[in-house]
Structure 1
Amino acid sequence: MAVTLDFVKAISNKPKPQTDNLQFGKHYTDHMFTMDYSTEQGWHNPSITPYEPLTLDPAAMIFHYGQTVFEGLKAYRTEDNRILLFRPEKNLQRMNHSSERLCIPLIEEEVVMEYLKQLISIDQDWVPSAEGTSLYIRPFIIATEPNLSLAPSNRYKLMIILSPVGSYYPDGINPIKIKVENQYTRAVKGGTGTAKTAGNYSSAYKAQEKASNKGYSQVLWLDAIEKKYIEEVGTSNVFFKINGEIVTPMLNGSILEGVTRTTTIELLKEWDIPVIERRITVEELFQEYENGNLEEAFGTGTAAVISPIGELAWGEEKMVINNREIGDLSQKLYDTITGIQTGKLNDVNNWTTEVK
């Protein structure tokens, strides 16, 4: 698909960070993509310009009512120097799903995909090649109309910024400690839990802070009504291997549908490993642990791909899972997904898209 856009080249290029010291979200490439929306013109003025600060009216509605959505995906450099995206169409589909929930105008997914590929192509020298590194891609939309009325904005800005990032596990893929959250609520059916929107994450800070102060990496959220059904981890969906069968919470109107979650389920089915999406209580999980049936637990998400869980705290109880070691299935999923992402394994499902 041929798409045209304005391009303003950066006068000078930034110094690139050392790939052995890349931190998440600390460095940004030379250029960014922007596109505006108004009710009169629709989406218009697609541009790639030098990365620079924004100028917004203090009354811009994003500041006051939080009308925004975002996505996160990655570009990977292969050993033969190609650049691959992993299932990017699913991220743009989910962005439109989020936008619909937040009353934000939908984008033309195929057109924006081409804009995204052009941006990466222009800044392709920023895609790192070291083991475990990638180029993180953050598309997002904000409401820009200066208006304090409590109603959807009539103006928006879509932006895409790029950031080279290192391995999520600097010391290897090690199991993490997670605390079950009994007090605070992440999302409720009918709310914005299925949308990737800013407020979902900032409202989780308090629970995360409480867990971090006790030495836990993440929070495991329960349902908002009965506080007993497992939903998801702070930054990922969650899976449990119970007596040879994989169980993950079913999508219920408050759980974000992760791209890595979908990929994991599809791979498990390909491997003829039983996988069930259903409601599961934390009490049931603890009982399975007591019975010796809880064999593995792991989260799935873009940032870490697979996050093995070595310890799960529920009130005063603790579940030490698989001796705090990564399980065989977690390792196989991690190796397979990252292998496809980086071109080391054959992509038989056509999940990758090459940027040329």
Structure 2
Amino acid sequence: MFVKTIKGLNGVLEKTSTGICLYKHEMVSEMASPIRVAVTGAAGNIGYALAFRLASGEVFGPDQPVHLNLIEIPPAISALDGVEMELDDCAFSTLAGVTKVDSDHLEEGFGDCNFVLCVGSVPRGKGMERGDLIRINGPIFTNTGKAIQAAAAKDVRIVVVGNPCNTNCLIAMNNAPDIPRDRWYAMMMLDQNRAKTQLAQKSGQPVSSVSKMTIWGNHSATQFPDYFHAEIGGTPAPEVIKDDAWLQNDFIPIVQKRGAAVINARGASSAASAANAALDTVKSIISVTPENETFSAAVCSDGSYGVDEGLIFGFPLQSDGATSKIVQGQEHNEFAQQKIDATLKELREERDTVKDLLN
């Protein structure tokens, strides 16, 4: 492939043999080498909400430049032009460059990326069963996994946001066998944030007082928001709220069905809160988790808690800033175990639906 480069006052225009024009802003900086972050579906509502916060220095710090690889399907490339214009107009000192790529050329989009945020996926339509959605998105994430393996940086870490995120992550991971399995995450942080807010509001405490809130299993209506191990102001949540009926019959369904409630209220799915949760996930991965805290994400199971090895399952995690590990030793009563078993059953069924896509 040839690359023709035309330099100008504000950047570099590259025209490749594939016909793609990549406009790369090259900012002179005395800061560290840029972290390169790819975002699929970058012109969509979630991608749009992500891009500016990634560029601003909020996630990786004020002294760490970021180069954004923004990926979209060909019909949305013109909308991506507008995103780039707005990024220009923000004049972020930490934005080292922008590369726009259409999704027909994923290897270019993931080239040398240290983080990949897989936001783009086909949404569930009216009358569509979950299994139908899984089969539609499966080939997309097959190609995504292969392209990440072929082109991303050796230290790449991947966060899958597009639903059904657990199984989309499973498909991509299995099509990138050379990338260590501890680099793959599916987003459960949105559910964790929702659950923390519900506990805070019920207890009359600030959301910052809620800790150790784990979402077990699948990012779906079977997920289990584990209030038993959550704490409010350092005290077990059930001892603060003291309302088992509310915790079992209201709290759990509210969290499980919050996404549907948002759609019913605003006529569109969660966007700003989903983007916020994706960034919270990245921050949790790259930061040292406080000793008495955990965070939620779905990761490749090592067999912990009786979960099938290789499934992408939501667990309580801690990070040392480089690697995340499943927190061990939590015990569950019969009620909690039944909830975990139900979400495990669903993920097994999803895995079986796409078994032909798993290498």
Q: Same fold, TM exceeding 0.5?
A: no
Q: Which has the higher contact order (CA 8 A, sep 6+)?
A: 1
TM-score by length of 2: 0.29
TM-score by length of 1: 0.29
Q: Which has the larger helix fraction?
A: 2
Q: Which has the larger strand fraction?
A: 1
